[in-house]
Structure 1
């Protein structure tokens, strides 16, 4: 059932994106593929060929994207893995969905310039200013690698002082990975220049900015890997080395995040190369299309409007040349990550770290399940019973899936209740307190009955 619930946002996103991009193969308000075109251009054979390519590309893309959903239903019964796969699918789908559009957009833009299909009075855009700015870009200094090296050396020094072999291995692994990334960064910095144009300045600009982007990427990955090393050590030092899921998620993060960064830089450089290489460094004539990067992102420093009507899709979009537009765009990304990362971590914890009820020697009962820990004296217990069913209700905080419910709930006939239960695994221990109810069980019914007997015995002694 949980997988079908997760499938709903996938289905909604899939349908919306499909309608948006398949709707771009027909001109709307003189806009086709994010390009402003006059009516006489719409029947041009080369443009019609681009439309055919566009339809074919998206037919294949959406078929592959749909097939990529099916592994969701083949995952284990653990909710966290299904959630992580759903979030990954959504992120990849939303990022890659625009790539076929950008490809055809660039083709249509080039065709428009060749045939001078301008709307209104064309303007001359100087490419040499952009090329000069790119030529001034500097490669990130290799000294920045001192940050991940310092982290690794700190691990090694502490391991020697504390005689901690795990800490030492973590430091050595981190230092080894940093060394590899440093070598890669150095290799990319010194790689042989590539030729994109007959214009030397164009080649210099693209090669210079490419070296800068790659130097930033390899350093960022090195710092990320250091953070993963710290996280891995903390998990292993707490005795979680036998939990397979931590290894699985760790492998995914360590491999997929760098891969995503490499693809991002590659695509960014490919788009930048297209923007300046095909002009051969010469000034070009254009109209309002110059303010629409890749046909969908609005960037107009001469327009103070923060929101403008979209060219692709419906509604409005941000003017990324304004400070407010940038704050909204990047703020939204940060807030989304601030929600998604803790949610994923909590889902993993819920699946692989079960609540633990302990009868303490000081006459108290404690249930350890952060952030829903609870601790109360036996003297507060009004009644302890063993039930075969739990009343229905709704969650106010915590996590509820088809397999378990943990956190604060409001239940029929009970009111405010703390649940720490595996669903459909009766019996359930119900503890009545003056201010709330607590319902608890183990995954093994026999252990639940043993714990119930221990609670009754402790309650009588108290």
Structure 2
């Protein structure tokens, strides 16, 4: 059972990495902006196909070897799970290595073919597009927070009945395997961590909502549809994940207060169900957003292109540095979702501030 979660994560990761070149913005190939008239260049199409084939077959080989090894080994479940995590990171490293290779090839072809010479760089702004924005309002994310605060109060009322050893970590079998002495802080530690994570989700969504909606010059309609779809469904995905994490942490807290709250035979199923919903939701989100701008009915504008930001603002097609852009988060160039504007200090605070706070909280337990 310990290998179930790593295998599930690997399968979803392989699927996502394989289809990645085909669900990014249609005018971006391996992190390089491409004029609309060259999007279907045969060489670029071959790069996408080769990337997907290499990622798929090499990753599947690694997955099969891991599965055979795990089934036939007599090692502890923790060791099998850690090995699975290692192979997962190896798949990510493989896909990133191939990405940088094809990023360089794509950038080289763009320069050699002089695709930007005959087009006019244009920046499009639509002041009415925000009226169509359907992102969830910030106060919706307070619902999980209310549940957490309610659990804090309930834990305080039940404090005399808590065991002298408070679970701090749970193993692959769903059973606690690390404990801390009972104190007021250790009793609500999980809930404090949960609260910080909820605030991080709220901060990310609110910062994303305030970020600019960038419209593609060559196909304004398609880019508006994609941006609005990305914003809407990313807010929903963040809310669902926040709610699921709240449910998982609430379950762990209640099993601490009431050890017989869930039968032992179901304890392993809880995290698997949680993970399954998150992975399915992530795939659905990626496919939904990835196909948003692929409608052939969207009209294209000939002779223009977006302002080329490949080398000035996008480092390696992955890292965005633009101090003149007030947006904290911008759409990824390779992948589906958002990335930080690394020139904006607030982005670091929203992402790394909660992580640092969680480390400080756990240090005092």
* TM-score of the aligned structures, taking structure 2 as reference length: 0.40
Higher RCO (Cα < 8 Å, 6 or more apart): 2
Structure whose CA Rg is larger: 1
Relative to its length, the structure with more strand (as a share) is 1
* TM-score of the aligned structures, taking structure 1 as reference length: 0.33
